[in-house]
Amino acid sequence: MTRYKIIVNPISGRGAGESAVPTIESRLREYGLDHHLVRTERPWHAAELAQEAAADGYEVVVAVGGDGIANEVLNGLMLAKGAGEGEAALGLIGLGRGNDFAFGMGVPAGLEEGCKVLAQNFRRTVDIGRVVGGLYPQGRYFGNGVGIGFDAVVGFVALRMKRLHGFLSYIVAALKTIFIYYRAPLVKIEYDGNTIEQLSLMVSVMNGRRMGGGFMMAPQAEIDDGLFDLCIANQVSRPRILALIPRFMQGTQASHPAIKIGRTTQITVTAVEGVLPAHADGETLCIEGQQLTMELLPDQIDVICQAPETAG
C-alpha cells in the first residue's frame, strides 16, 4: 500500500496550514490513504523531512502550504534522489499566498481539491530547474521559476505585507515597487550562444507559467518539454511599467517592444553594473547577487496532479 508523508507548514496562509490539519487527516482517511503527518518547525526543515521520508521508503511526499514549502520539499526529494537514498513522488496541497508552484504543476489551490487530486493519483514526470549563485553557490532546485529583478523585489515587498493576502498583495507590492525599484541593473544574459547586454528590469526563467499569484510570465510554458521559457524586460519608464502590468496578468506581454522571449536549457545572468535581487519559487536567492546560472534537468520527478480530462 502506498505510504504518504504529509509535511505541513503550520504558518502558511496566515495559519491556514495549521487550521487545515484536522480536515486533511479526515479527508485522507476517507480516501483510504495511508499517511503520516508532520509539521515544520524552522526554515529548511521541510527539505530535511522530505529527504528523510524518501530515504525511509515513503512513496509520496506531500507539501501542504505555499510555494516556500513546495520548494523545500522538492529540494529534499531531489537531494535524496541525488544521494541514492530513495525516490518519491511529489504531492501538493496549495494553501499559501500565491500557490504558483502548484498551479504550474497542474494542482488546483485549496484543501478539498488538493486532497482529491492525491486520491486520484494521476502522475506526470516533470522537469526541474537548478540555480547556482547568490546564497546558494552549491545550488538549489526549483520547480516553477526564477525571477531576477523587478518581480523578485515585488515578492520581497509582498512578504512584508501583513494586512493583504493573495494576488491583491502582489498587485499592491508591484505598485509600490515601481517607486522603489524601477532603475534596472546593466546585465549580461548568456544562453544558447546568444549574449545580450542591456539594462534589464526583469529576467524570468520559467519552468511553470505563473508568478505572483496571477502574473502569467510564460503562458506557453510546459513543465515537461525540456526547456525553460524566458521573459526578459528592458528598462522602461514608470508609466510603461504600469502599462505592462495588465499585459502580464493576461499573458500578452510578448508583443510589447520592451519584452524579449526565448527558450533554453541553460542561462547565465551577470550583473555588469548594479546587483541582482532574485528568488526561486518565491524563496530568496539573493538581495544583491552578482551572477546566477540556471540549468534545466529533464524528467526528474513524478508529481501527483490533476488529470488532463478533469482540469478546468
Residue whose C-alpha cell is 515578492: 155
Please compute the mean of the pLDDT values over residues 261-272 and round it to a whole number: 98
Query: What are the beta bridge partners of residue 189?
Result: 196, 269
pLDDT for 3-55, tens place per residue? 999 999 998 777 788 999 999 999 999 999 999 999 999 999 999 999 999 99
Every domain of the chain and the residues it spans = 3-121, 132-298
CA distances from 119 to 2, 30, 214 (A): 11, 10, 27
List the grid coordinates of 31.
480516501
Q: Please, which pLDDT band fits residue 286 given cuts at 50, 70 and 90?
A: very high
Question: 158 or 125: whose pLDDT is higher?
Answer: 125
pTM: 0.93
pLDDT above 90 (res 62): yes
Q: What is the pLDDT of residue 216?
A: 96
Residue 260 in this model has a pLDDT that exceeds 70: yes
Q: Using one digit for the tens of pLDDT, what is the confidence trace for 214-248?
A: 889 999 999 999 999 999 999 988 888 888 989 99
User: For 3-121, which CATH superfamily applies?
Assistant: Probable inorganic polyphosphate/atp-NAD kinase; domain 1 (3.40.50.10330)
pLDDT band at 311 (very low <50, low <70, confident <90, very high): low
Looking at domain 132-298, which CATH architecture does it have? Answer: Sandwich (2.60)
Residues 80-122: tens digit of each pLDDT: 999 999 999 999 999 987 899 999 999 999 999 999 999 999 9
Q: pLDDT for 151-186, tens place per residue?
A: 888 888 877 776 766 677 878 888 888 877 667 899
Residues 7/49, Cβ–Cβ less than 8 Å:
yes
Residue 70 has pLDDT above 90, yes or no: yes
Q: What is the widest separation between alpha-carbon atoms in the chain?
A: 58
